[in-house]
Structure 1
């Protein structure tokens, strides 16, 4: 609780005890069911991508079976060349997660440098960087990624992630610029500037901590965008080898849908959808932390409805 002063009927100021309003922070965020579910899904796929290939034999090893459905020998069936779909699914998870993680890190770093630094420095730096981000903002994302990937001719997961990141940072940079311009004029930032602290320290210790929820949400969104974009590229034949999108590409080329081989294309598509749902749940939880209007107080959520209460 806090103590404030208030004038009474005689005009004299008397102390008044005012209860302190609880601000939901990161501890309150961890109580969110959406966040726990999202973290569980993402952690499951992360462990599958990290340690799963260590316990799975070479999926490229062709067996004697030819396009058989799920069985005790092959949990998710086989492809038209006899490859085990379950082994392919586990090994391909590492490629998709690598592209998403690298894309998220690079896109977030670029948006911080251009959005936050440019907005804090201001003047011509802000105008130039803002114009630069506006140019990338109006460019079509997926067609540009297709053209650059086809021109470079690289199919590595790292290079594809870099290309996706270089074409997807403009939107987050604009959001961070707007938030930084509202933060840089606050009292604590002015106090740090008057005390003689360097600009890099003010940005790192005064500005960025107030932008962490937004940066975290943008990072998760960039990871999800990287995974979906890589899957689209791989489905078009422009992606790298060893990802869920590559499995969909080969299934489409072999006409798995026409042959009724649902066990070939449903598992990778379902993994992309479930992982995207997990990342979306985490993003929704961060949105509740950023926007107070999306939060429902725990006492109101648990309070039973009474007659006559609107």
Structure 2
């Protein structure tokens, strides 16, 4: 455990990304405590500007934007984590199965994966969401999760095929270890960086895609999420009447969580990739040497 925590604690990107993620999770869990308003009830005048009573103003329907933002964090994070988990589980199962067993199994899974990769994802999601009609957040999460696993499966398969030829796997086969143990004990720990990269990337993709689908009017208009807030701001012409806060609040929130998760993604790549770790050490040494050179120059000039 200590070995895993030390690289994370020593990586600035990981710390910033984790701080952002923990903040959002805390807001989602403490939503009933952070605001006393109901997110779908009228609590003020239409398009009321930010004030002490309403920190982020109100919508055209007189709903509190801050309250909707807090409760929307819970909904959007739930969708992102659920769909990200579905994408990761399907991708890992299919990728490891295809890469480890090979042969006919690999060809069959690879064929299905290639078909899924060829079909454009966003148009497919738009068609399915339009067919379902006013899809709830749970349905959107399931749609995204069940249609976005192909890339993760392809990457996991490639890494599994590489590990399959390593000496420790071949040695385990020679001593007669069962296949399930070789997959769970030998392969999976070496795939953690790929799995983590796939999961975090899937969460980012899901949050943005969910907001896109709801912004286009394909979600449930009564749901409280960041995408629904943007959709309601669009239909009420918020920017035209000067109610910029209706767009600014959810858009900024999506951007910040995207940056935070991306920094965790970059940190996972740096921690798992020795070349990137070495490159970071070299850059730190160069910066330190430049500081020393500048200090020497200052001392020489003063002398």
Encode CA deviations 1:256-307: one digit per residue, 9 max, x unaligned: 1111111111000000000000000000001112333322354761441488
* Counterpart residue number, 2:301: none
Pairs aligned (count):
284
How many angstroms apart in 2 are the aligned matches of 1:210 and 1:154? 41
Deviates more, 1:188-197 or 1:108-117: 188-197
Work out whether residues 25 and 289 of structure 1, in 8 Å CA contact, stay in contact via their aligned partners in 2: no
Work out whether residues 8 and 15 of structure 2, in 8 Å CA contact, stay in contact via their aligned partners in 1: no
SS in 1 for 2:239: helix
How many angstroms apart in 2 are the aligned matches of 1:155 and 1:28? 41
User: Aligned to 1:79, which of 55, 59, 79?
Assistant: 59
**2:284 aligned with 1:301:** yes
Work out whether residues 204 and 258 of structure 2, in 8 Å CA contact, stay in contact via their aligned partners in 1: yes
* Counterpart residue number, 2:262: 280
Q: Are the structure 2 counterparts of residues 228 and 300 from structure 1 closer, same or farther at C-alpha, using a change threshold of 3 Å?
A: closer
User: Aligned to 1:62, which of 42, 45, 68?
Assistant: 42
* Counterpart residue number, 1:50: 29
* Counterpart residue number, 1:271: 253
Alignment of 1:165-176 (within 5 A): 165-176=145-156
* Counterpart residue number, 1:41: 20
Deviates more, 1:272-281 or 1:156-165: 156-165
Work out whether residues 45 and 93 of structure 1, in 8 Å CA contact, stay in contact via their aligned partners in 2: yes
User: Aligned to 1:262, which of 234, 239, 244?
Assistant: 244
How many angstroms apart in 2 are the aligned matches of 1:50 and 1:134? 39
* Counterpart residue number, 1:151: 131
Cα drift, residue 181 of structure 1:
0.3
How many angstroms apart in 1 are the aligned matches of 2:6 and 2:153? 28
Cα drift, residue 82 of structure 1:
0.9
| Alignment TM-score, normalising by the size of structure 1 | 0.87
**Consecutive unaligned residues in structure 2, runs of 5 or more:** 294-303
| Alignment TM-score, normalising by the size of structure 2 | 0.89
Q: Which has the larger radius of gyration?
A: 1
User: Aligned to 1:127, which of 101, 107, 115?
Assistant: 107
Work out whether residues 117 and 203 of structure 1, in 8 Å CA contact, stay in contact via their aligned partners in 2: no
Cα drift, residue 152 of structure 1:
2.5
Q: What RMSD over aligned residues (CA atoms) do the two structures have, in Å?
A: 1.7
**Consecutive unaligned residues in structure 1, runs of 5 or more:** 1-23
Say which structure is richer in helix. 2
How many angstroms apart in 2 are the aligned matches of 1:124 and 1:60? 54
Cα drift, residue 153 of structure 1:
2.9
Work out whether residues 59 and 87 of structure 1, in 8 Å CA contact, stay in contact via their aligned partners in 2: yes
Deviates more, 1:64-73 or 1:294-303: 294-303
Cα drift, residue 156 of structure 1:
2.0
How many angstroms apart in 2 are the aligned matches of 1:152 and 1:70? 37
